[in-house]
Structure 1
Amino acid sequence: MGINNENMNKNVHVKDLLIKDYKETWDLQTKLLDEIVALKRERRNGSVDIVTPNHFLFVEHSHVYTLGKSGDFNNLLLNENQLKEKGATFYKINRGGDITYHGPGQIVGYPILDLENFFTDIHKYLRLLEEAIILTLAEYGIKSERSEGETGVWLDVGTPFARKICAMGIRASRWVTMHGFALNVNTNLGYFDNIIPCGIRGKAVTSMEVELGEKVSEEAVKEKILKHFKSLFEVKEFIK
């Protein structure tokens, strides 16, 4: 059953967590999601005037590898001692997708949205997230695109030089989203050598820094992502 238009909230609370531990951020996402789901439950039980909030978290993590719920542990090429030597941690988590890396120089975005405020279509949600990144990269002269059957944003798809610049993986519960995207801006790509990224063999990864040949302002990239996210999702207002 749909939601009344007057209860659709298209405002989004935006917060930049700066550098934050992966587990702490995962816990915060879960807390926000649970709060929204609880409000939806109240509304379903008769509190019809309840409006649910939406959140968008930016964060930069210390070195960490995360494996999605359907991922293959063998795609992590390090043992416990080697992880420690590299100053990295590992978590098996509840998003879709396989294994990926998060670390310094990477912009991670976690939209915790009640999709009933926007549209109830997970496929559309992922495609619009990808589009926000594609449009952002285009502002830097980087032509990126989707790769059929592979979520995320890629360069030179269909050629021997195909490489991934942005990974995506989400979870949704009662149309409330968590997890999101990880865009390589000034990322140390050497850390990807320790995994089979997203479980896809033979595909390289890249960063904005590598493609442009210079460091990129992460703050400027975040602003551009928000601009395109606002347009694509028809956000009424960002609340910071």
Structure 2
Amino acid sequence: MNKEVILQDLGLKDYKETWDYQEQIFKEILDIKIKNRREDAQLVTPNHFLFVEHPHVYTLGKSGDMSNLLVDEKQLKEKNATFYKINRGGDITYHGPGQIVGYPILDLDNFFTDIHKYLRFLEEMVILTLAEYGLKAERSKGETGVWLDVGTPFSRKICALGVRASRWVTMHGFALNVNANLGYFDLMIPCGIKDKAVTSLNVEIGQKEVSMEEVKEKLLKHFAILFEAEFTR
């Protein structure tokens, strides 16, 4: 079981380019697993973790409803935003500058073969990170992601989750609002859930800007503990 995770920070990168890169890594890991099974080989499968920030983009998951995007193509162009239908679970999501997007591309055979546990661990990583900023974040029953003030009229989402898995290899991941422009969330029904607000870390702690690098380091620290993983750069 290889618990080493190759870490890459891609900086600001186009969504489609990043998606293609994810697919390439995903396929490489799957090919190794297929070879191992067919040839009774024992090749080690790598694990990857990509950090990225995307230019303004809306993505719709496999089970998503197109009507949850509230603008047309012309309005998207006016907002300098793009749109893609993609192969993860979940509904509609926005990515943009000021948001930390993380794509763990893991062979869960190296960790544990339980997708539910995997999702809960990603949520826990974010919950523990936000606790370091004095926020009590939590899960909301029946809704993926990480929320604040669950069960109150002020419930709001701070982190979205959506993954794909095949043969226990994962891709896609999480999007944590750190210094996000929340106005872009008004152009959609976030994750298809009406009457739920969205927030960002800088808003919650009353800071103009929070260090993205600091948040990333905290996320990695908690990921490493939860997954008993070791990062290599």
Match of 2:200 in 1: 207
Show CA shifts across 1:178-211 (max 9, x none). 0000000000000000000000000000000110
Q: Distance in 2 between matches of 1:212 and 1:193?
A: 22
What code does the residue aligned with 1:223 have? Answer: E
Q: Work out which of the residue numbers 122, 140, 152 in structure 1 matches 2:145.
A: 152
Q: CA deviation at 1:49?
A: 2.3
In the other structure, the counterpart of 2:157 is 164
Q: SS at 1:201's partner residue?
A: coil
SS of match in other structure, 1:70: coil
Task: Give the TM-score, by structure 2 length.
Answer: 0.99
- Kindly report structure 1 stretches of 4+ aligned residues shifted beyond 2 Å: 46-49
TM alignment of 1:34-45, pairs within 5 A? 34-45=27-38
Q: Distance in 2 between matches of 1:160 and 1:17?
A: 37
- Which residue is 2:88 aligned to? 95
TM-score normalised by length of structure 1: 0.96
* Offset at residue 47 of structure 1 (A): 4.3
Q: Does 1:119 align with 2:112?
A: yes
Please give the per-residue CA displacement for 1:82-131, whole angstroms capped at 9, x wherever unaligned.
00000000000000000010000000000000000000000000000000
Q: How many pairs were matched up?
A: 232
* Counterparts of 2:107 and 2:93, CA distance in 1: 25
Question: Which residue does 2:216 correspond to in 1?
Answer: 222
Aligned-residue RMSD, C-alpha: 0.5
- Segments of structure 2 that go 5 or more residues without pairing to the other structure are none
Which stretch of structure 1 is more off in the superposition, 41-50 or 81-90?
Answer: 41-50
2: distance between equivalents of 1:50 and 1:213?
A: 49
Q: CA deviation at 1:45?
A: 1.5
Once the two structures are superposed, residues 139-193 of structure 1 have per-residue CA deviations (whole angstroms, 9 ceiling, x without a partner) of 0001100000000000000000000000000000111000000000000000000
SS at match of 1:224: helix
The residue aligned with 1:65 is 58
**Which consecutive residues of structure 1, in runs of 5 or more, have no partner in the other structure?**
1-7
Cα distance between partner residues in 2 of 1:127 and 1:11: 20
Distance 1:183 1:201 in 2: 20
C-alpha distance after superposition, 1:42-98 (max 9, x if no partner): 100124220000000000000000000100000000000000000000000000000
The share of aligned pairs that are identical, in percent, is 75
